[in-house]
Amino acid sequence: MTYLLLALCALAAPSPSTAASERPGTDDRAAPAYEPSESTADLAGLLEAPVVSGASHSAEEARTAPATTTTISAEDLRRFGLRTLDEAIDFLSLGMLTEHALPTVEIGARGVLLSGDYGNHVLLVIDGHAVNEPWGGTAYYDRSAALPLEMIDHIEIILGPGSVLYGSNAMLGVINVITRRAKDYQGLRLVLDSDAPYSLRGAVGGGAQFTVGGVPGEISGQVDYLGFSGPRLTLGPQPYGDDAVTGEPKAYGPQGPFGVWGGEVQRGWYARVPSAHVRASVGSFEALLRAAQSKRAAPAAFGDYDDPESYELDRWLSLDLRFRRALTSRFQLSARGYFDYYLYQQNVPATAPESCLEGQLSGCVYRLEGHSRWGGVALSGAVDWLGNGRLTTTLGTDGVLRYVSSHQEYVDAALGTSPEIAGDHAKLETALALWLEQTARIGSWFSLNLGARYDHDQRFGGHLSPRLAALTAWSGGALKAIYAEAFRAPTAFERYYADPLGAIAAPELRPEVVRSVEVAIEQRIGRHRMLLAGFRTWWRDLVVGDDATAREVAAAQERGELAPGTESASLYRNAAQLDSFGLNLAFDGAALDKLRFGWGLTLAHSRQTTLAGEPRPLDAAAPFFGNARISYDLGGFWPALGLAGRFYSARLVSGSDLDPAPNAPGGAELRLTVSGEVFRIPGLGYRLRGAYRTTDQAPYAIGPLRAPTEGFESIELTPMRRWSVGLGLRYVLL
C-alpha cells in the first residue's frame, strides 16, 4: 500500500518529475503520511491532490508540506483566461494579492504589503532559478515578469518565510513557476492574444525529444513579444504653481502645460516586453536560458508630463546548468552553476529647472543606471537513510560572486553634458550559504521537518534562518504547526544610492528579519478540500525612507553627496517594526467530473511602527480579501466556462501627505472566460474573456500634489480600467 500511495501522489502532480527536479537535491518521492481509503471519491480526490516541490527539498503532497501552499495548473490558467502572474495570484491563490501601482503592480501576503519595494519581499523562482536581483531586489508580477504563459506547467504559491531554502527576499513567500518539458509541449505552437484594443501579444514555441549517442534528450522553448498602449485618459488638473528657480509657472514639457500638472495621456503610458525561454536536457544534464526586457512608461509626478521618453527599462539574462544523478538507491548528488546579468535604466526628461541641478536653466534629462552581474556554484546531496523516504537528510552549499554598480547623471538639455555626481558606486561582493534539512516520518501519523540555512554576505555579515514544522496526519486530513524565519538583505540601491538633490547613502543598513508561527488544519472528503490556517508574524529592522537630520545633511555636503545649499534630504534606515496576525480559509471541490469550484479568504490585522510614531495600518494593504471561482467543461468541441471573482476591503492610500491618510474604496472584480477548440480545425483553440471591476481607483496617490490645496480639493488616485475584453488564439502546427 505504501508504494501504491507513492505512485498515486506522483500522478497527482501536473508534472511531478519536473517539479521534483527543479532544484538540486530534491527527491521525486512524495512519502505517504496516511493510508488511503478505497472509495471511488477518495481515490479521485487523491489523484487530484497537488504535489509541491518549492516548500522543501523534496516533492511532497501539499497537505503535508511545511507551508501553506496553492498550486495553479496550466488548465486553471486556461479555464479562467489568466494572462499574467498577478492575475493568477489575485483570482486563484490563497493569502496573496496584488495592487495596481502604475506602471507595474505591488504584491503582498497575509495582510502585509510594503509599498514601493519593487516586489523584493517575495521571491520569484522560475524553473528553480531565483529572479530577484542584488541591485534592487526587483521582481515583477505583471506583464513585466515576461513569463512564457503557454509553457507554464504549474505555479506554486508558498506563503510565509522561505529563507531556509532560498536565502534573501523570501519573507512574505515564494512563487515557484515550473514550465513544461518537451513531452508536454510537443510540436510547433503559435499564439496570438489581444486585450482589445490596448495590448497584443504574440508567441512562437514548441518542444521536441531526441537522442544523443543513445542518451535521451529534449528541448522546449518559447519566444514572446507583448506590446501595450494604455487607453487615453485625463488626469488632473493639479495646480502646482511656480518653479522654485525661475519664479514662473512650472513647465511640465517644452510646450507645457505650465503651472499645472495633468491633461490627456496620449503617448506616455505603454509597455514593450520581448522575452525568450529555453530549457534543454540530455541524460543527467540540464540547461536553462532566459532573456527578457521590459520597457514601460506611465504618468509620473517627476519630469515632463506625457513624455514617451520618460520610461523605466529592465533587462535580464539568465543561464543555469545542472547535473543530477542518483549514485545509489539512497544517495543523490546535485550540482548547479548559474550566471545572471541585470540592467535597470530610468530616463526622465525635465523641462523645469527646479527638477535639475543648479545652472541647468534649459532643463535636463535625469538618467539612472543600475547594473548587477552574478554567478555561483551550488552543490547538494540527499540521503534516504531507510530507502523509503521516512528519514532523509539534505545538505548543501551555494557560493556567489556578484558585481553591482550604479551611475546617474543630470544631462543639461542645452549643453548635452552632465557634471560628475558623487553617488556613483561599484562593488564586488561575495556570499556563501550552507543549508541542512532533516525530515523524519514516524509511522503513518506524525512527521517532522527541521531545517536551517546560514548566509554569510560581504554586504551585511551573517544570518541564520531556521524552520521547524511538525505534522500529524490521518485519513484525508492533517494538522501542522510551523515556525520559520526569513531575512531580506539590504539592496545595493538602498545602501549606496545618493542624489545631489536630496538622497544620502546608507552603507550601515542591516538585514530585515521576520519570524512566523502558523498552525493549519486541512481535511479532504472525497474530491473536496477544506483548509483553516492561523498565523502570527513579527518583523524587525524594516528598511524605510526617512528624513535626514541637519547634521546628516551637513556631513553629506562635506562628502560631496549633496549639492551645496541643499536644505533637506532623505535616506534609508532600519527604522520600523511590524506585527501581524490573521486567518486563511480555503475550500476547493469538484463534482460531476467536469464541475470545479472553490474560494479563498484572508483576514489579517497588521500594524507598522516607526521610531517616530504610533502603530498604524500599512499603506495599500487590504486587511480583508479573497477570491472565488467556478468552472464547467461541456466536453467535446463544446467550450469550457470559467467564472472567477476577487474582492478586497478598503485600505489606506499610499503616497498621501494627509495624516491620517484617507482610505481607498474596497471593491470586487469579475471575469468570465469561454475557451475551447475551434470546430473542424484541428489544433486551433480559442479563449474569449471579459472582465469588470466595481471601482476605477487604486490605493495610490498620483501627481505632484499629495494633499488638498487651494484649487485642489482632494488628492487624486491612480486610475484603473473598469472593463476589458480579450481574445486569445493558439494553433498547434505539428
Distance CA 345, CA 328 (A): 49
Cβ atoms of 661 and 627 closer than 8 Å = no
d(CA 424, CA 370): 10
Closest residue by Cα to residue 639 from 671, 679, 691: 679
Please list, in sequence order, all residues whose beta carbon lies within 8 angstroms of the beta carbon of residue 262, skipping any fewer than 6 positions away.
Answer: 234, 235, 236, 237, 238, 305, 703
535 within 8 A of 584, measured Cβ to Cβ: yes
pLDDT at 300: 87
Handedness of CA 298, 299, 301, 302 (dihedral sign): positive
Give residue 18's pLDDT: 34
Cell, residue 423: 553617488
C-beta separation of 173 from 109 below 8 A:
yes
Length of the chain: 734
Assign residue 472 a region: left if phi > 0, alpha if psi is -120 to 50, beta otherwise?
beta
Residues facing residue 687 across a β-bridge:
675, 728
Q: How far apart are the first and last CA of the chain?
A: 41
> Burial of 388 by CB count in 10 Å (0-12 exposed, 13-18 middle, 19+ buried)?
middle
Amino acid at site 274: P
CA 187 to each of CA 203, 224, 288: distance values in angstroms, whole numbers, following the listed order: 14, 17, 19
Q: Is 31 exposed, middle or buried (0-12, 13-18, 19+ CB in 10 A)?
A: buried
Residue type at position 724? S
Q: What phi and psi, each to the nearest 5 degrees, are found at residue 43?
A: -65, -40
SS3 162: coil
**pLDDT for res 15:** 34
User: Which residue ranges in the chain fall short of pLDDT 70?
Assistant: 1-48
d(Cα 193, Cα 226) in Å, to the nearest integer? 9
- Count of alpha carbons within 13 angstroms of residue 246, beta-carbon side: 19
Domain 2-732, CATH among 2.40.170.20, 1.10.3720.10, 3.40.440.10, 2.60.120.560: 2.40.170.20
C-alpha cell at 693: 471591476
**Are 283 and 215 spatial neighbours (Cβ–Cβ below 8 Å)?**
yes
Nearest to 548 by CA among 497, 608, 506: 506
Taking only Cα atoms into account, the Rg of the chain, rounded to an integer number of angstroms, comes to 26
DSSP string, 675-693: EEEPTT-TTEEEEEEEEEE
Structural domain spans, the chain: 2-732
pLDDT of residue 29: 34
- Look at residue 187 in the predicted model and tell me its pLDDT: 92
Neighbours of 541 (CB within 10 A): 18
Instruction: Write down the residue that cell numbers 548528488 correspond to.
Output: 333
- Compute the distance between CA of residue 73 and CA of residue 149 in angstroms, rounded to an integer: 11
Model confidence, pTM: 0.92
- How does strand 173-179 pair with strand 122-126? parallel
- Please provide residue 227's backbone torsions phi and psi, each rounded to the nearest 5 degrees: -120, 135
Cα separations (Å) of 689 from 194, 304, 686, 727? 10, 36, 10, 6
Q: How many CA atoms lie within 13 A of 342 on its CB side?
A: 23
How many other β-carbons are positioned within 10 Å of the β-carbon of residue 399?
14
Residue 49 DSSP label: -
Half-sphere exposure (Cβ direction) of 708: Cα atoms closer than 13 Å: 5
- What residues does 157 pair with on adjacent strands? 70, 175
Q: What is the pLDDT of residues 407-446, one digit of tens each?
A: 999 999 999 999 988 778 999 999 999 999 999 998 888 9
Report d(CA 88, CA 103) in Å as an integer. Answer: 19
Task: Tally the C-alpha atoms within 13 A of residue 308's C-alpha that lie toward its C-beta.
Answer: 7
Helix (H, G, I), strand (E, B) or coil at 197: coil
Residues 6 or more apart from 340 whose CB is under 8 A from it? 133, 316, 317, 318, 319, 372, 373, 374, 375
In single-letter form, the type of residue at position 694 comes to T
Residue 670, all three cell numbers: 469579475
- Residue the block writes with cell 466595481: 694
CA-CA distances (angstroms) from residue 607 to 514, 576, 651, 664? 14, 10, 13, 18
Distance CA 239, CA 237 (A): 6
Q: What is the DSSP string of 396-438?
A: EEEEEEEEEEEEEEEEETTT------TT-EEEEEEEEEEEEEE
Question: Residue 177: beta bridge partners?
Answer: 126, 155
Residue pair 405/418 in contact by the 8 Å Cβ criterion: no
Report DSSP letters for 271-323, one per residue: EEEEEEEEEEEETTEEEEEEEEEEEEE---SSSSTT-TT-EEEEEEEEEEEEE
Q: Which residues contact 625 (CB under 8 A, 6 or more apart)?
A: 97, 601, 602, 646, 647, 648, 649
Inter-residue contact 226 to 271 (CB < 8 Å): yes
Residues 6+ apart with CB under 8 A from 677: 637, 684, 685, 686
Share of the chain residues as helix, strand and coil, in percent rounded to the nearest 5: 10, 55, 35
Question: pLDDT value at position 342?
Answer: 98
Report the alpha-carbon distance of residue 48 to residue 76 in Å, rounded: 13
CA distances from 209 to 183, 212, 219, 429 (A): 7, 10, 7, 40
pLDDT at position 638 is 92
Q: Of the candidates 438, 315, 460, 309, which has an alpha carbon nearest to the alpha carbon of residue 383?
A: 438
Helices (H), 469-574: 492-496, 550-559
